[in-house]
A and B are shown apart, each in its own frame.
Chain A
Amino acid sequence: MPTIEATSHKMRPLAKLLPANEPRAAATLDVWNIDWQTVIDDLGGDEALLQELIDVFIATYPETLNEARNALARADLPGVARVAHKLKGTVGNFGFGPAWEASRTLEATAKEARLAETRVTFTAAEREFAHLEVLLLSRKRVASA
């Protein structure tokens, strides 16, 4: 379970997930939190819409990640890149945090047909999406409290 602090992603640079020639799992940004004010402003202050988008995200992203997992199992890297691109668009609705960065990196390694690295970046993406889900659920709890 990551530690959640109210640190805006705008206040600190995102971690580089893959330094050149050194594939490894992405660093966990356990102090990162979503800049809710920016997100809600981008939605025109519509909290109900945010809650709805969180519900849609939580209901759909596991299946989308599964598509990427299956494509990876088949070594279908164009397929992985396509799904990663979709994930990137999805999580962008909640800011450009680690899940967005992990999706972007996954897309990049898959596009460059680097299978071994793509396996690593996929694992990182899985972890960041799980973190994002925790953050989104906590927002829902706060909103309904």
Chain B
Amino acid sequence: MKILIADDDRVSLRRLEKTLAGWGYEVHTASDGSEAWHQLAQPDAPKMAILDWVMPGLDGVEICRRERELARERYTYILLLTSKSSKADFIEGLKSGADDYLCKPVDQSELELRLRAGSRIVDLQESLFNACRALKQQATHDQLTDLWNRRAIHEFLTQELSRATRENAPLSIVLADIDHFKSINDTYGHFVGDGVLTEIAARLKGELRDYDRIGRYGGEEFLIVLPGCGTEDAVRQAERLRAAVQQAPFLVSNSSLSVTLSAGVAIDEGSRRFDVDSLLQRSDLALYRAKHSGRNRVALFTSEWLGELPVGVTGAAACAE
């Protein structure tokens, strides 16, 4: 386990460093508070730290306070080390957020046992953190494709739409649907259908920028949110997505399967600002047009299409096979 020790006294620092290394810890050292704080801010920072109370720059107590105020997802177990030994000091140290407190010079066997207790807490916290992360992943991602699920992508769209309006920036969405997917399932079975869905998800994801987001919106339907994209960029990107699906066949049971994708694009920009449902409705209508114009194509929503669908019928439903 990695452990950070911070002390401006080189004798005590070296003594601790050698002792902890002998106990199997991967020891990182800092000779003042600022350096310790910098190391704790790194993504792969040690999860245990032994901090001297009185140090130049930042003292150990201040580091504890800052660390607890930040409430990072990753917990750092902090043991304060000091020559201060009054009860008031002890209370102040623990109030600052330290997990434990030891007086200098350190009794080796006591330190070893306290660190062992600290390691148990760190391990427990790590298990809890991993469990939470797994639950969060399950709650926000589609199990088959590992894309964002419908609720998560909808939330992202809501946030991005709000940001786009606030910053007067464009935002586009693409609603994409696999052509004749039902016949793939009917002909080759659901196992193959799932394989096609997974492969398409990977291809679409591979075409996006880091700040775009894609979710599985329905059975064979994907919603892609493109922050900052105006009309031309969005149509170009939708076309790239469509081509990514068409360009190479899918290998299924020793045979090659050609699959295509239709996509509807809707834009939110300038004076044309919409709420989430209206924007989705527009992309849905554009998708409907792409399907009815022969499939394997991209259609951009235009306002003349409003009113084309019967009330209560969505574009995807209208083009269902």
Contact = CB atoms under 8 A, between A and B. Distances in A.
B8 to A, nearest CB: 6
B19 A89 contact: no
A85 B22 contact: no
A88 interface: yes
Contacts of B82: 89
B54 interface: yes
A96 B270 CA distance: 75
B83 A42 contact: no
Interface stretch (A15-23, A25-33, A45-53, A116-124): A45-53
B10 A60 contact: yes
**Chain A to chain B: the 7 pairs with minimum beta-carbon distance, closest first:** A92-B105, A89-B83, A90-B9, A90-B11, A89-B104, A89-B9, A57-B11
B54 A93 contact: no
Contacts of A89: 7, 9, 12, 52, 82-83, 104-105
- Main secondary structure, interface of A, reads helix
B8 A86 contact: yes
A60 B15 contact: no
Given A49-B18, A53-B15, A89-B83, A42 B10 contact: no
B236 interface: no
Contacts of A86: 8-9, 54
Given A44-B19, A44-B22, A85-B54, A52 B14 contact: yes
A73 interface: no
A53 B105 contact: no
A42 B11 contact: no
Contacts of B7: 89
B293 interface: no
Contacts of B22: 44, 46
A86 B7 CA distance: 9
Contacts of A90: 9, 11-12
B308 interface: no
B34 to A, nearest CB: 16
B198 interface: no
A9 interface: no
B108 A42 contact: yes
Given A42-B105, A43-B15, 11 more contacts: A43-B108, A53-B11, A53-B14, A57-B11, A86-B9, A88-B83, A89-B7, A89-B104, A92-B12, A93-B11, A93-B15
A46, A57, A92: which has the most chain B beta carbons within 10 Å?
Answer: A92
Contacts of A52: 14, 18
A57 to B, nearest CB: 5
B11, B18, B83: which has the most chain A beta carbons within 10 Å?
Answer: B11
Contacts of B15: 43, 49, 53, 93
B107 A42 contact: yes
B9, B22, B82, B108: which has the most chain A beta carbons within 10 Å?
Answer: B9
Interface string A87-103: 01110110000000000
Contacts of A53: 11, 14-15
Given A44-B19, A46-B18, A56 B10 contact: yes
A139 interface: no
A60 B12 CA distance: 12
Contacts of B8: 86
Nearest to A53: B11
Given A85-B83, A86-B54, A92 B104 contact: yes
A60 B11 contact: yes
Interface in B1-45: 7-12, 14-15, 18-19, 22
